[in-house]
Amino acid sequence: MQSIEVPEVVVLRLPLYVRALTQLQMAGTDVVSSQQLGGHLQMTPAQIRKDLSYFGRFGKQGRGYNIQFLLKELRDILGLTREWRACLVGVGRLGRAIINYTGFAPEGFTIVAAFDSSDDQIGTDVGGIEVLPMGDLAKIIATKNVTIGIVAVPAIQAQPVIDILVEGGVKGILNYAPVAPQVPIGIVMRNIDPVLSLQSMTFYLKD
């Protein structure tokens, strides 16, 4: 499996499969066909079968997929069977909302540290986490085994903050700032920008 290069678009769809399968499992469903799964995700059965084929054979023709088995396999493939430790930079209104969001921990993502450059924020408690100065970032990344950095700073500060995170040793960055920062090869970057999503939506709504 490691010798096959999996297209990024396929990797991006795997969490959608995990979410849909989890919902089906919670509803008491044991087996699902690619047709049924496609109906949940507004995808073609052929696309689902092709995506899953990159990682092996998970179902039998005419019998569908065992949800419990497929869910376990996909969570293993995505690395969701371990804890991922993250730090947050920027504890303004967005940063505070991120820290207090309850959806991370059940999926294995734990924010273990928070940083800010403002003297007004340093030393305060946000969701049970003490806000630390940026100067402590590299030390905390190492001592708390932080792999992921979450960036919730103004656009003008994003690139310098991301540079510091990369230099400190994080391997993945979730960026909420409305910019497209640059990272070295080997660093995984995901940008979250609701404005861009709204702008692409209006293409279909404008008439």
> What residue ranges do the domains of the chain occupy?
8-78, 84-196
Q: What is the mean pLDDT of residues 175-179?
A: 94
State whether CATH 1.10.10.10 applies to domain 8-78.
yes
Percent of the chain with pLDDT over 90: 89
Q: What is the mean pLDDT of residues 80-104?
A: 95
Count, in order, helices (H) and strands (E) of the chain: 8, 10
Contacts of 155 (CB under 8 A, 6+ apart): 177, 178, 179
Please, which pLDDT band fits residue 8 given cuts at 50, 70 and 90? Answer: very high
What pLDDT is stored for residue 24 in this prediction? 95
Neighbours of 20 (CB within 10 A): 21
Q: How far is CA 123 from CA 131, 149, 178, 196, in A?
A: 5, 20, 27, 34
What is the model's pTM? Answer: 0.90
What pLDDT is stored for residue 1 in this prediction? 42
pLDDT of 116 above 50: yes
Please, which pLDDT band fits residue 61 given cuts at 50, 70 and 90? Answer: low
Rounded CA separation 2/12 (Å): 17
Q: What is the mean pLDDT of residues 145-149?
A: 97
Residue 90 is encoded by which pair of tokens?
Answer: 């920027």
In the CATH scheme, what is the code of domain 84-196? 3.40.50.720
Q: What is the mean pLDDT of residues 98-115?
A: 95
What pLDDT is stored for residue 59 in this prediction? 61
Q: What is the mean pLDDT of residues 117-127?
A: 95
pLDDT of 192 above 80: yes
Which of the 8 DSSP states describes residue 5? P
Please, which pLDDT band fits residue 57 given cuts at 50, 70 and 90? Answer: confident
What pLDDT is stored for residue 62 in this prediction? 64
What pLDDT is stored for residue 3 in this prediction? 52
- Please provide the average confidence, as pLDDT, over all residues in the chain: 92
Please, which pLDDT band fits residue 206 given cuts at 50, 70 and 90? Answer: confident
